[in-house]
Amino acid sequence: MSGPEPLRRVTVLGSGSWGTSFAKVLADAGSEVTVWARRASVAAEINEQHRNEGYLPGVALPAALRATDDATAALHGADAVVVAVPSQYLRENLAGWQPLLPPGATLVSVSKGVELSTLKRMSQVVAEVADVPMDQVAVLSGPNLAMEIAAEQPTATVIACTDHDRAVALQQACSTHYFRPYTNTDLVGVEVAGACKNVIALACGMAAGLGYGQNTMSSLITRGLAETTRLGVALGAEPMTFAGLAGLGDLVATCTSPLSRNRTFGERLGRGETLQQAQEATHGQVAEGVKSCSSIRELAARTGIEVPITEVVHRVCHEGLAPAPGAALLLGRERKAE
């Protein structure tokens, strides 16, 4: 019995920290990899100096890794296309690339979020905009902080796709001595976990900024996992997904690491900075959870699921609630069984 066709040529659309780190993984695993960069200067730096200092300072990239700012050249002949752009900009970017996508190529989303305007998960946006069946779309998610992966620190991840052969082919294309992918068919669970963990990480950051310790952090992570699981199961996810790498694994990494943009952004809010001040301090980059908290809150409301931590994060980010009164709101909720 023959296995799936190998993915020999992979294109990564996006040259940020995660896109570049995953491109490095793919190249280290033996794939022919091309990165599309929005700026020609970034593509030139990757090609000539094997660096992307703006996003991965001090990291040496494989000499075989190529980059271009020409999307047509980047996508030509690709067996798989990895979309690595912020979730709220995925639709707009992919619409421009859609005519260039090779027919039959596996489309891989590594973006984490729920689209604000439609409340769709990223795989749904990819399938809709690219006009492909859902079984052509895969999702990759797990405890995957870009800088640690670029430094080749051991980690694992989950590749979710309803087409098992596509998932296995992608698994083979990104397996290295430091990066271990597992397959899964639960796209809903993997994506809901990936989107919600950014919001919970903002809450953990706010708690740290307020000076709270590990008891508070552990409580937020645990109750955050509970509300994420409730929402995911209501949307059709498998409960066990949330106990795995894409659920608990990613949640712990994002909520506790200083490398997590959502955690550090939340910490600034907890110390009293405004949303604008926190954004300016992070070089204009907004943490994904700042926008996703609103779409996840609305999705939960439509589904009839309570998400109290997400509700408080939304109110802090978008309605002027201070983090300390937000914590009081959570503690003052009606007492009930776990």
Full DSSP string of 145-202: -HHHHHTT--EEEEEE-SSHHHHHHHHHHT--SSEEEEEES-HHHHHHHHHHHHHHHH
Q: What pLDDT digit, counting tens, does each position of 131-175 carry?
A: 999 999 999 999 999 999 999 999 999 999 999 999 999 999 999
Contacts of 172 (CB under 8 A, 6+ apart): 4, 6, 7, 29
Listed residue (286, 272, 333) closest to 308, CA to CA: 333
Average pLDDT, the chain: 95
Place 3 in a pLDDT band, splitting at 50, 70 and 90.
low
**Positive or negative, the Cα torsion across 271, 276, 280, 284?**
positive
Q: How far apart are CA 16 and CA 85, in angstroms?
A: 8
Mean of pLDDT values over 273-277 = 91
Mean of pLDDT values over 256-262 = 93
Place 1 in a pLDDT band, splitting at 50, 70 and 90.
very low
Question: Are the CB atoms for 214 and 267 separated by under 8 Å?
Answer: no
Q: What pLDDT digit, counting tens, does each position of 15-59 carry?
A: 999 999 999 999 999 999 999 999 999 999 999 999 999 999 999
Q: How far apart are CA 81 and CA 19, in angstroms?
A: 11
Least confident of 69-78, 199-208, 284-293: 284-293
Q: Is the pLDDT of residue 263 over 70?
A: yes
pLDDT number for residue 285: 67
Q: Is the pLDDT of residue 333 over 90?
A: no
Mean of pLDDT values over 218-244 = 97
- For the chain, domains (ranges, CATH) are 9-185 (3.40.50.720), 188-331 (1.10.1040.10)
- C-alpha distance across the termini of the chain, in Å: 48
Mean of pLDDT values over 206-228 = 96
Q: Is the pLDDT of residue 241 over 90?
A: yes
How many other CB atoms are found less than 10 A from the CB of residue 73?
14
Structure tokens at 296: 């996840």
Helices 261-270 & 288-303 angle (0-180, nearest 10): 90
pLDDT number for residue 2: 54
pLDDT number for residue 4: 76
Q: What percent of the chain has pLDDT over 90?
A: 91
Mean of pLDDT values over 114-123 = 96
Q: Is the pLDDT of residue 328 over 90?
A: no
Q: Which of 120, 197, 291, 336 is catalytic?
A: 197
Residue 291 is a catalytic residue: no
pLDDT number for residue 256: 96
The conformation of residue 6, written as its DSSP 8-state character, comes to P
Place 279 in a pLDDT band, splitting at 50, 70 and 90.
confident
Place 334 in a pLDDT band, splitting at 50, 70 and 90.
confident
Contacts of 30 (CB under 8 A, 6+ apart): none
This model's pTM is above 0.85? yes
Q: What percent of the chain has pLDDT over 70?
A: 98
